[in-house]
Structure 1
C-alpha cells in the first residue's frame, strides 16, 4: 500500500487554493484555481496535499455535510528554518495561532489555519547534540 495524497474537502475552493499556493508556497499541479480538484506539492518530497470541492464529494457519497465541524484534519509540513519560513508566510498573509515554539526535544513547530479552518503544522526537526 502506498499513500497517494492527503485530500482536504473544502467549501471555499478558491480561498484554499490561494492559501496553499500563494501563502504556504506549495506548487499547484494544474492551476485549477476554481476547482473542483487540485493537488499541491512541496519543493521536496513525494507526498502532496489535494483539495476537493466538498459539494462534489457530498454528491458522490450523499452523506457529507456542507461544512466540517471542529478540527477534522491536520496538515503537517516540514521546513528547514521554522523562524524564517514563519516570517515569510506571515508577510504573505498567514496568521500564526501558535509558535514557532519547541514541541519536543527533537522538534519545533508553528500552527495556523487555512481559510476552511483546517489546521496546518509547520515543523522543524532539530539535531540532537551528543
Structure 2
C-alpha cells in the first residue's frame, strides 16, 4: 500500500479551502471552493479536505454535528487492486464498507478502522 495523503474531514469546507489556499498558500491540485473536496500540494506532500457530512454518508454512518464523536481525519492508501486488498485484509480488520466504485470521483474504495478507531480508506483509480 502507498500512503498518498491525509484527509481532513471538516464541517466548514469553504472556510478551510480558503485557509489552505489563501492563508497557507498551498497549491490546489484538485477541486475548488464549491466542490466539497479538494487536494492541495505542498513540499512534496498532499493534503485533502472533505466535507465531513459526505464522508459519514460514504461509510454508511449518520452525520452528527457532535464533533466529539466524529471522524476528523482519514488516512488514504492507494493500492493496485481494492478487491484483492479487501480479500487479503477481511479476516484481519472489520471493514466498514465493501469495495465500492465511486464513479463521480473515479475511484474504487473500501474503509476500515485501525485499533485506535482512526478511519482508513484504501482506493484504486478506475
TM-score, length-normalised on structure 2?
Answer: 0.49
What TM-score results when the alignment is normalised by the length of structure 1?
A: 0.47
